[in-house]
Structure 1
Amino acid sequence: MRFAAPAPLPRRRPRLLAALCLAPLLTGCFAASGDGDGEASVAGEGARLRVALAFPPTENLSPYGADATILSRLGVTEGLTALDANGAAVPALAASWRQEGGRTWLFTLREAAFQDGTGVTPAAVAASLTRATEAEPAPAALTDVTLTATAAGATGVRVTTAAPDPILPLRLSSPSLAVLSPKAFVKKGAVDPVGTATGPFEVTRVSGVAGARLDRFDDYWGGRAQASGIDVRFVADGTARANALRTGQVDLAEAIPVSQAAGLAAGALRETATTRTTSLHLNVKSPVFKKPALRAAARAAVDPSVLAEDVYEGHADAGVGIYGPAVTWAGNERVRPVGRAKAEAPGGASLTLATYDNRPELPEVAQVLKQQLEKAGFRVRLEVREYSRLESDALAGRFDAVVAARNSLLDTGDPVSVLAGDFTCDGGYNLSLLCDADVDKAVGKAQTVADTDERREAVMAAEAAILRTDAVVPLVHQRVLTGVAAEAGGVLLDPYERTLVGAGTRR
């Protein structure tokens, strides 16, 4: 189906009432660092923010892959919905929604404009969602989901799924389902978010993997941003990010290494409990871990408490499952895995353990794991790369084991989605290459449950089925450390790690 580009809307300055009433819908979802109420400014130019991010773009800033969170964290892209601090769907580009039967939902749009000056119309939104469904590979938020989006009148978008999808409003909050204008899709086979999104900041220049320039989008529906723009530096080295903050080169630095925390000025560090878990993924198709008894031996060799206290210096909790303390209900409903294989002596079995250095604690975690595994009788070769050079080999199963940090609620906000994406036969981010009939059955059952409490019970049963295989060993549940300069305020400290900068972020 082809969609005509909507006619340009006249450029307009948002009124004071819009700034005061609408901006809190997004900036009020999470704890804002610094003083003030986080509302967008309607007067004054504002200073430019200087931000250091850990991960450079790996897919030309395509919203359909790993780069989606770069765009959402910088306030560039938005979806129809967003997540609040409790993980519930709240309005974003959609002002409201309602279900029309088991497979169809109607979303009512608010008045908004794209950064290219065209209007956010039902046709444009439907076209954007349709392009997401056609992306290859499909966005993680659309794993095992087939949806169709069509315009419905002057303000509505009707979304229909092939099977009932009780968490569709949560799913549409995913950064990978951001709404872009028709101009983003002019080039066949590509998507261009530069100047085609809806957030308070628009990308105006990208300097490869070195940095990017963002300018304020003055016609943002939530009110004019307080900062006039953002200068982004992609700095993979954690010590370098901390030094940039310490020496006043940046105002915000994400993922501060715990080893650098004590060296920052008083009040410069923000600690946020997150849904990110660092895990040891054992490749069930590799020669060494094809045998369940050796996976059990590796799991038995690992002491997560040592990692939490020594490597993370108390800024993390010892791993207990796929979901950590930030998901408060998981602790109450956790199911004990049963039927695990009995460990046998490794007898000098050799393995390659891989990780990446964009998250600076991971190489140290891997080094400690190497020692623990060798003490248990394995022979271990450690390989550390930058993430963009590791991902494809890890997903292809070229390592026996991988240490990775994963936000369990990043893609959809739904706890079932990470299980489907990471641990089922058809999962798109299955580092363990796990394909287990019992796991697929448990995850499939959880996907069909609509009631919130019952869905959580099914999730915990599926988690137990996954842990039974010893294909993944939870190590620590992380608390993210963000460096914030004294002059900066309004930083969005998000447990789901989808946001960092919003209309109220300033210096």
Structure 2
Amino acid sequence: MRIPTPLPALSLTAVAALLLTGCFAPDGEASDSSSERLRVVMMQPPRSGLSPLSDDAFKLSRWSTAETLVTLDANGDPQPALATSWRASGDAAWTFTLRKGVTFHDGTPLTAADVVRSLTRAAQAAPKPRILDGVELTVTAQGDKVKVVTAAPDPLLPQRLSSPQLSILAAKAYRGKTVNPVGAGTGAFVLKKVNGTSSATLDRNGAYWGGRPEAPGIDVRFVPDGTARAAALRSGEADIVESVPVSQAAMLDEDQITEVPMPRTNTLYLNTERGAFVDPALRAAARGAIDAEALVKGVYEGRADVAEGLLGPAIPWAEQRAGRTEPAAPGKPDGKAITIGTFTDRAELPEVAAALQQQLQQAGFTVKLEVREYAAIEADALAGKFDAFILSRATVLDSGDPAAYLYSDFASDGSFNLSQLADPAVDKALGKATKAASGPERRAAILAAESAVLNADAALPMLHERVIQGDSPRVVGSAKDPRERLLVTPDTYVK
């Protein structure tokens, strides 16, 4: 069963070679060209020693070494993993039945006590994993079952437990002050060694409950420089490369790259509380002025998708949206002055801002740009000091559910309400969406809430981003996951 001032080009290649030559064999061992081990280059080095209670958890998940009670399918619905089934056992309680025959990488069997230990440690961590923000839970063992009780009813609890930050590890992982995942997972590959922020080594788990993995192991290198990552794939030094920059994609063969739609939307948030965009007609005028296709072609070199709504193609059911059902008629800007803010941390955003400035000025606005580092501009953006703000925003959080993003960004009491929106119709729709049971009912309520936000023109979605993954033509079965939870699976190998 499978669960699944720039340097010249030559100098950059040389730098990449120096960074990467001979780096894929485990330290102290010679490379074995016949071993068929997977050589993987990743963008971000570990920030917290690969603790699952941090964002490093997503590396453990992408290497198929640490696993959770449930996984998510393409629609974001929960599917069995270390738990085979679950049921609501009260308004705020869920009972999970554990899979039999699972052993940790240290040879100890998976028990309910192990699940209690892992989830309790996460619930009591400071800071908590973000998936548990605002969630209080207690976990108890009941034979081969685990009962999870939340302080308030939570229809998304199974989805929350799919977060890689809630991976289940063996007791040995918790013996120190920090959580150490080395040799403590249940997945298809055993994490054997971590060399600080430079590399990691994993070997096949021959006793994996889901069947024998195809590859004998994984040798990982962390290479933050995007040019060096692309060079590693181009030169044959790597089999799988994470996050190839758009600027490097054209230098690779088409059969080496895959563009994966991301649940991330580049959006122009309009300030509905003060300034020009208090007027719905001027918000509509801004909507009509934006040429998103030109942004995709010019800034993203065609490697993005024009937005039809706030939720993009990475969320399959979003195509069922109604969209704007009551669009306002556009007014005349008549030279109205507006200031648009954005930040430099994402290289494409200043370019998007410059292109938008031209488009809005052609429509009759007078446009000033203010561009800073994100840390220096976030407070002003949240305080509503700009008429508009350009943001690349993730539209699903760790639960795979967009309702939290919509509420955070557009509810009158939302914690990230850049639009300063206070619209009763939007609040009502968002309240219904956040309380709905998971499945078709919740998806329909989320799309209705999206329509309410779009009708208000509080945010103008422009494009949906893609991530570019590089694979050697010899690689079979690597995952192309919009949520970036999977990369190497039990079915991945080099032919």
% of aligned pairs identical?
44
CA displacement at 1:122 relative to structure 2: 0.8
Question: For the Cα contact (< 8 Å) 1:356–1:363, is it kept in 2?
Answer: no
CA distance in 2: counterparts of 1:373 and 1:148, whole angstroms: 52
* Aligned counterpart, 2:317: 329
**Of residues 381, 394, 415 in structure 1, which corresponds to 2:378?**
394
CA displacement at 1:462 relative to structure 2: 1.9
Instruction: For residues 134-168 of structure 1, give each alpha carbon's deviation from its aligned partner in whole angstroms, at most 9, with x where no partner exists.
Output: 33444343344333221111x21112233333333
* Aligned counterpart, 2:114: 124
CA displacement at 1:46 relative to structure 2: 4.0
CA displacement at 1:56 relative to structure 2: 3.7
> Quick one: which amino acid aligns to residue 67 of structure 1?
D
Question: Does 1:269 pair with 2:257?
Answer: yes
Question: For the Cα contact (< 8 Å) 1:355–1:366, is it kept in 2?
Answer: no
Question: Does 1:81 pair with 2:70?
Answer: yes
* Aligned counterpart, 1:241: 229
> Quick one: which amino acid aligns to residue 461 of structure 2?
P
- Closer, same or farther in 2 for the Cα pair 1:194/1:322, shift >3 Å? farther
CA displacement at 1:411 relative to structure 2: 1.1
Q: Which has the larger radius of gyration?
A: 2
Question: For the Cα contact (< 8 Å) 1:292–1:470, is it kept in 2?
Answer: no
SS at match of 1:249: coil
* Aligned counterpart, 2:141: 151
Question: Does 1:432 pair with 2:418?
Answer: yes
Question: For the Cα contact (< 8 Å) 1:490–1:504, is it kept in 2?
Answer: yes
Alignment TM-score, normalising by the size of structure 1: 0.77
Question: For the Cα contact (< 8 Å) 2:138–2:149, is it kept in 1?
Answer: yes
Question: For the Cα contact (< 8 Å) 1:79–1:175, is it kept in 2?
Answer: yes
Question: Does 1:71 pair with 2:55?
Answer: no
* Aligned counterpart, 2:430: 443
> Quick one: which amino acid aligns to residue 378 of structure 2?
A
CA distance in 2: counterparts of 1:194 and 1:444, whole angstroms: 42
CA displacement at 1:215 relative to structure 2: 1.4
Question: For the Cα contact (< 8 Å) 2:39–2:219, is it kept in 1?
Answer: yes
- Closer, same or farther in 2 for the Cα pair 1:362/1:62, shift >3 Å? farther
CA distance in 2: counterparts of 1:474 and 1:350, whole angstroms: 18
* Aligned counterpart, 1:226: 214
* Aligned counterpart, 1:133: 123
CA distance in 2: counterparts of 1:76 and 1:433, whole angstroms: 41
CA displacement at 1:224 relative to structure 2: 4.2
Question: Does 1:377 pair with 2:366?
Answer: yes
Alignment TM-score, normalising by the size of structure 2: 0.78
* Aligned counterpart, 1:161: 150
Greater relative contact order (Cα 8 A, min sep 6): structure 1 or 2?
1
CA displacement at 1:406 relative to structure 2: 4.0
* Aligned counterpart, 2:248: 260
Q: Which moved more, 1:106-115 or 1:244-253?
A: 106-115
Aligned-residue Cα RMSD (Å) equals 3.6
Runs (5+) with no aligned partner, structure 1: 1-21, 27-43
Question: For the Cα contact (< 8 Å) 1:432–1:472, is it kept in 2?
Answer: no
Question: Does 1:356 pair with 2:342?
Answer: no
* Aligned counterpart, 1:412: 399
> Quick one: which amino acid aligns to residue 433 of structure 2?
A
* Aligned counterpart, 2:492: 505
CA distance in 2: counterparts of 1:199 and 1:171, whole angstroms: 19
SS at match of 2:116: helix
Q: Which moved more, 1:291-300 or 1:132-141?
A: 291-300
* Aligned counterpart, 2:267: 279
* Aligned counterpart, 1:7: none
CA displacement at 1:90 relative to structure 2: 1.4
CA distance in 2: counterparts of 1:427 and 1:71, whole angstroms: 32
Question: For the Cα contact (< 8 Å) 1:74–1:501, is it kept in 2?
Answer: yes
* Aligned counterpart, 2:193: 204
CA distance in 1: counterparts of 2:454 and 2:208, whole angstroms: 45
CA displacement at 1:246 relative to structure 2: 0.9
Which residues of 2 match residues 44-59 of structure 1 at below 5 A? 46-59=35-48
Runs (5+) with no aligned partner, structure 2: 5-32
SS at match of 1:382: strand
CA distance in 1: counterparts of 2:433 and 2:113, whole angstroms: 33
> Quick one: which amino acid aligns to residue 179 of structure 1?
I
CA displacement at 1:80 relative to structure 2: 0.5
> Quick one: which amino acid aligns to residue 58 of structure 2?
T
Question: Does 1:461 pair with 2:448?
Answer: yes
- Closer, same or farther in 2 for the Cα pair 1:226/1:453, shift >3 Å? closer
CA displacement at 1:125 relative to structure 2: 0.7
Instruction: For residues 222-265 of structure 1, give each alpha carbon's deviation from its aligned partner in whole angstroms, at most 9, with x where no partner exists.
Output: 24433343333334443432222112222112233344333212
- Closer, same or farther in 2 for the Cα pair 1:70/1:394, shift >3 Å? farther
Question: For the Cα contact (< 8 Å) 1:143–1:421, is it kept in 2?
Answer: no
